Amino acid sequence: MRKYAIFFIFILISAMSAGAQTWKNTHVYIAPVVANTDQAAYFKENFTIETIGAGYEVVENAPEADYTIKLEVKPNMIRYDDGTEEPAPEGEKQYVLQINLIRNEDNAGIVAFSFAFDTTDEMYDYNLYLLYEAMANVPVNRMEGTVDDNRWRNKWIYIRTSFDYPITFYQLMDPMALWGDDPNNAGGKIWHNIDHRINPFPAVTIGLEFQYLNWMSTEVNFNLSFGDPFSNTFIPAIQIEQKFPIKPSKHFMIEPYAAVSFPLDTSSNNVKFPSLGVGGGIQIGVKGGSMGAFFMDVNYIRFIGDVLTKNNNQLYPNPSEIHYTRFIVGLSVGYKIGFADRRPR
């Protein structure tokens, strides 16, 4: 199983490295241009080229962007004191390009100005200048954490990796049943190979979390324990967690959750384990870049049904099967990296 441990460790390190990047490009969305067909195509293409050339990253969807550039072409109208207006006379510019820069996080208008022109051909000399005028106070890239950025906690999908430290408890259900009928045991001597056991064993978890509502998400994960204190075997499990994110701060969030666990290997070394566990926990995450969070997770899982093991003691052979309860108290630390921005909250 060593190769599995190395694989999960590699995933965790990769995810943490991705989340720990210090600098990130500024994303810009250029909205559909409001103009006639030829002008709209011209300004959309040219402002896209100039924006990329200036070092910004142009994206196709507004929710993925930090800023939106809106362009609109209108006829250049002369307005008189009586409120009437008419197109500009010959010899004056016939069109006006209106440029607006919007900060997507709070939909605030940052810059708004206009520029008059006659033909799109003459605009080749001005497009880059106009872009710089609009983006004068917007850095090409920024240091994570220096701006108000809630995207880390508002992703549609997260990939979770963690190192776990589960403590598995086994408790003998009925020690008196092991007294047997042997006269040598009449004085109350109780035989048992395990009365209770609380040894911790390491584990790793990888999973997918789907945040379909601002206050609700579901995680499905795969857990691999490196050893079981009862049978000294590996017990993989699939766990489903129904989470309820609470976001009191821009720098951390709390996710209490209910969970069900399905062990995949329930019989080994003369031991039969329950196939269902229920419980819950709480995950506390802190901002780890715009893509995800470092987290600590505390949980409790109690298994439904008994752990059954054969009684191999020849001196006290009754009963033939010994029953134990099983529950786990776990602690995890890890990183989850998110993809596809939801609307910031």
Strands (E), 182-287: 196-197, 203-213, 216-225, 235-243, 252-263, 267-268, 271-272, 277-287
C-alpha span between 250 and 145 (Å, rounded)? 10
Q: Which two tokens stand for residue 311?
A: 């009684």
CATH 2.40.160.20 residue window(s) in the chain: 2-16+151-341
The tens-digit pLDDT sequence of the chain (345 residues) is 444 444 444 444 444 444 444 456 889 999 999 999 999 999 999 999 999 988 899 999 888 899 999 999 999 888 887 778 888 888 888 999 999 999 998 898 999 999 999 999 999 999 999 999 999 888 887 655 444 568 899 999 999 999 999 988 888 766 555 544 444 544 444 444 445 667 677 899 999 999 999 999 999 999 988 766 566 677 789 999 999 999 988 888 999 999 999 988 766 667 788 889 999 999 999 999 888 999 999 999 999 988 887 777 666 666 777 788 889 999 999 999 999 888 755
Query: Which are the contacts of 292, defined by CB distance < 8 A and separation ≥ 6?
Result: 15, 18, 19, 152, 155, 158, 335, 336, 337, 338
Which uninterrupted H or E stretch holds 37?
helix 37-53
Q: CATH for 23-143?
A: 3.40.50.10070
- Residues forming CATH 3.40.50.10070 domain(s) in the chain: 23-143
**Residue 200 is encoded by which pair of tokens?**
């911790």
Phi then psi for residue 323, to 5 deg, are -105, 135
At 109, is the secondary structure helix, strand, or coil?
Answer: strand
* List of residues 6+ apart from 89 with CB closer than 8 A: 78
CA 3 to chain centre: 26
276 φ/ψ angles, rounded to the nearest 5 degrees: -150, 135
| Whole-number Å distance between alpha carbons of 204 and 202 | 7
**From CA 312, how far away is CA 191, in angstroms rounded?**
11
Give the fold, CATH level 3, of 2-16+151-341.
Porin (2.40.160)
Question: pTM of the prediction?
Answer: 0.55
